[in-house]
Structure formats: C-alpha cells, structure tokens
Structure 1
Amino acid sequence: MTDLTPVFDDLRDESEELDRLVGELSEDTWALATPAAGWSVAHQIAHLTWTDRSALLAVTDLEAFAGEVEKALAAPDRFVDEGAEAGAGLPPARLLAEWRAGRDALHKALCAAPTGVRFPWYGPPMSAASMATARLMETWAHGQDIADTLHVMRPPTDRLRHVARIGVRARDFAFGVRGLAPPEEEFRVELTSPPSGPSSGELWTYGPEDAAQRVTGPALDFCLLVTRRAHRTDLAVRAHGPDADRWLDIAQAFAGPPGTGREPKGATTA
C-alpha cells in the first residue's frame, strides 16, 4: 500500500506557511488588491476557505456536496467569485479562524478516508490523495498572489513536486478547455528541483525518456506557468517541439476557465 501521509502533511505545511504570511496582517492590508482582478488578500483566503469547505463536504457529506454542485451549475460564471466575496466580507480575524478550522477538519477527513475511494468533485471524482494534491496546488497558487501583493519572496520547497505533477497531468485538459485537440503523444518533462529543498539539484521527470517533444526548466518556473501566476516570457521554461511550445502558451493546472493570466513584467496597458 502507498503511504499517503506525505501529501496530506505537505498540504498542512503549505497552509501553515501561508498562515504565517497573513496571520499578523493589519485590516488595511487584508483589503489590498492582489494580481487577481477584483480580489483582495481577503478574497484569496476566503476562496481557500470556501474550497476547503466544499472538499470537506465531498469527503464527508455527499448530499450536502450535491447541493453545492447544483449551485455551481446554476451560476457557473459566478459561483467561485460569489463564494470568495461572501468570505471576504467577514472581519479578518473571523475569516482567519474559519480558514484554520476548515483546513484542520479537511486534513483529518482526508487522513481518515478509506484507501481507494473516489469522492465527487466539480470535475472528475478524486481520491483523497488527489484531493489533497489539488488543495495544495490551490493553496500555493493563491499564496503566490498574496506574496506578490506583499512583495514577499517565498523560498520554493519540494512541495512543488505536487504542483508540477498536476500541471503535467492536466496537459490534455488545457488543450480541451480551449477547444483544441490534445497532442496524441506524451511529452517528456524535466524539471530541476528547488535549490533550497532536500532534493536540491534533483531532476523531476515525467513522460517517456525517448519522447520526441519535451519541456525543461526550473520546477518553480514550471509551477508558476501552470498555475498562470507568471507570464511565459518571464520564466526559464523551454519547449522543444511545436506541440510542446503550444502547450506552454496555454498550460494550466486548475479546473475551470483559463482566465487572462498575468501580463509580462514591464507590460503596460493602454
């Protein structure tokens, strides 16, 4: 049996790192606008709180989660923003407390989930490990929005391995969500692990070694790319092959519409 503890613990650690970043912020700072249009720091944490609650329902209360899916289907273009807006309206101390309680409850539920069981989601059903991986990816990505807002540099960790894996596995989804046919052949993806982690300098690899097309670069840059937290031109991720090159323009690790992404550094708007 595979030991699922690492991904559950990594999700907890990623959340705690973000908690240390926002836990002592002033109320004025919670209201600062982040790079996500229309979202403040409070919206970012509110979104994580809302999504953690949805994940908890998916694992523990199928009927209640089905009700959440109905709400999403009734307002597919608004339900995510509405969930964030509702939480962002709370006093920061209360929002912080709800986020902490919710993620703790989700951690316990995921650890207690039976092996092999798949839980419903807004997309395909997921195992407990996949659920934890998706939550870690979102926590890291929204934490990046907050860090960018506060002009804080976060040292990359080996937890990025989970984000990178989702980004690779979501390749075909990125094409499909834009109405494009995915490439028939797999790519080789080779990423250099963060220099500050235990696996410093290690190569994280995905796909066949003899693949005709490949993607290479630092793991951090790849994760920023697939979460659409930085523009491709500002990153040291390289494509070798026309389909791989196209993928880097559209890659995304998250479900739902791609959004506008980030502008290149130094870009100006008319």
Structure 2
Amino acid sequence: MGVLEKAPAKINLSLDVLGKRDDGYHEVEMIMTTIDLYDRIELESLANDTIHVSLASRYVPSDERNLAYKAAQVLKDHCNINNGVHIRMDKNIPVSAGLGGGSSDAAAVLRGLNRLWKLELPLEELAHIGSAIGSDVPFCVYNNTALVKGRGEKVFPLPKPPPCWVILAKPDIGVSTSKIFQLLNTEDVVHLRTEEIVNALIAKDFQKLCTYSANVLEKVTLERYPEVLELKKKMTGAGALGVLMSGSGPTIYGLVQQEKKGISIYNGLRGFCDEVYLVRMLG
C-alpha cells in the first residue's frame, strides 16, 4: 500500500530581510500562502534499507541532492527507521522559480512518511525536522498562510487571504536564491510594514493586501534580470493588482478578484512566456 501527498506551491505575500545572522543565514520576516498548483508525491515502502526517487524531469536530480530524498533520509535517521522508500514525483511546479517546489516536495515526503510508517509525529516536530532540510520546509509542512521569521523555522499561522485568482508567469530563466541573497545590501533595505499585511488578512481586505504586499529581493533580481522587470510591467499594465515577485524570483504573480479578468491576463501573457498559470489561493 502506498501513500499519496499533494505538494502545493507557495507565493510570498511579503518578504523582508532584517539583517545577516552570525550563522551566515539572513534573518527574514515573510508572509507566505499556498496556491492550487502542486506536485504529486507517491510513497511506497521498500523492504531493503534504500531510498529511491523516480521522476520525469531533466531539471531535478533523483539522488541525495533532491530535497525529497533528503527529507526521507533525515526522517529515517531521526526515527531510526530501517525500511526504505520509493518516492515517485509528478512535477508540475516550475523549478528554480521562487515557488518553493523542492521545499514543498520535502514537506510532503515528511507528512507522507509519517503516515506510511505510522510514526504519529505532530506537525510541529515534522516542521522542526524539516528546518534541517531547507528554510521554506517548515512553512510547507503546515501548508497554510503564515508569518515566517528567523531563517524560516518560526512559523505563525494567519488567516487565509481573501478569495481571488492568481496569475503566475515565469520567464525561461532560473534564479539562484543564494546568489540573490549574496547580492542584497541589507543596509539599503527599506523594511516593509508587515503588520499592515497581517491586518489585511484578518480583515479579508483585498485592496489593502495588494497595497502593502512587497518583496525586498525584487530590486536585486529585477536589476540583474531585465526580463523579469519586463514581465512585471506587462502584468501590471494588463490590470493585475498586487503584482509581486515570489521569493528570489523569477516568477511574477498578480491578483484579480474576477475570473474573467484573470483569464484575459493569462491569455495575454501566454505570448510573452511559456510558463503561465491561472490558479486559486489555498492558504
């Protein structure tokens, strides 16, 4: 018997960098939510003590470099599990896109193996285990809307965003998160009014959410990749609101409340780049 898990993509409603930490990481303050674009993860126990990952993607490794593989190994070590697992991955989330696909896959493996191996670990413990795999994994374990602090390990649940459609567009480039953080001058950062975004979520205020959403990494990525800046201009010009880069990019997203408007913007962007999606918020 196998176990199936969905691994939804995330978007940043805000991303602020408060400074550089002594451990080399950056201190962040982010609000993230999940969207209805997801990978599918199927887990099957193996009698021998091995981890096998299979997927049809030339962009994603299937060995120990894969975050899903790492998640299985970390959980095996944490719980002294001698069984192996076959991880089948159906990838739909764009790679190196700022949408947390690898982190969400890892979180889905943690949740799925918790069920498959009947470990009965609480989500809090799975999130703690996930923090050793990647900064976004703890948030992805919960699969909600949340304020995230520290280097990503502190997750505080928030109300889900007001109902709306999300248009996502990714230019045909990949962006290194570590490289963007290296290029960021933390002394030049104009910090966000994160509390206003929290208040917008509590009040279900779509306009206020769009007004205060921001990402301090945008300046770095847009200066380095002019195609991302052009994409943001096109989406804004098409009438999307709250147009923002997710994570370190290069994906740009915009919000609309009317499905018809979302379809119109989606169709317009299809001629500009190949990877365009129209999805709903989950959160």
More helix by share: 1
User: RCO higher in 1 or 2 (8 Å CA, sep ≥ 6)?
Assistant: 2
Query: Do these two structures clear the TM 0.5 threshold for a shared fold by scoring above it?
Result: no
More strand by share: 2
Normalised by the length of structure 2, the TM-score is 0.29
